[in-house]
Amino acid sequence: MMKSKFLNGVLAIAILSLSVATPVAAQEYETYPDDQAVEYYSPYKWSNKLGRGVVNVFTSPIEIVRGIDLTSKSDGPLKGWTVGIMMGFAGGILRFATGAVDAFTFPFNFPEEDKGPIINPEYVWESWEGEYLE
């Protein structure tokens, strides 16, 4: 009896989540005042946003290594292992937070209308050159 109630609750939550997320995620047209549907193109879809969010949450600790490496290359190893580690830690927190926002808001047009990345570079392994957190 207890197992049945639990499964009914899980099923109800799943159906509610899908019923709320599906119409928003499937929206590809914007309606203008003259009631003409105009196609809105974005290279990013809800699946891109969800995937990017999950990946950024799990790869956020790599920002520490990235901060040390890029700061060491531009300002020397002493600054890389002192300032760079702190900048990498801050960058990791930022990447984790933006990944969490992407993962939890993937069906909605928040914070970017085109579901584009909140943080640049989009993933931690991209643009591994130049100064850190320019």
88-122 residue pLDDT tens: 999 999 999 999 999 999 888 777 777 888 888 99
- Sign of torsion over alpha carbons 102, 106, 111, 116: positive
Q: Is the pLDDT of residue 27 over 50?
A: no
pLDDT at 96: 96
Contact 81, 68 (CB under 8 A): yes
- Cα distance between residue 109 and residue 116, in whole Å: 10
Contact 132, 73 (CB under 8 A): no
Q: What is the DSSP string of 35-49?
A: --EEE---S--HHHH
pLDDT in tens, 49-84: 899 999 999 999 999 999 999 999 999 999 999 999
pLDDT greater at residue 25 or residue 116: 116
Residue 108 burial class via C-beta count within 10 angstroms: exposed 0-12, middle 13-18, buried 19 and up: middle
Q: Is the pLDDT of residue 9 over 70?
A: no
Q: Taking the model in full, what pTM does it have?
A: 0.66
Half-sphere exposure of 19 (CA within 13 A, CB side): 6
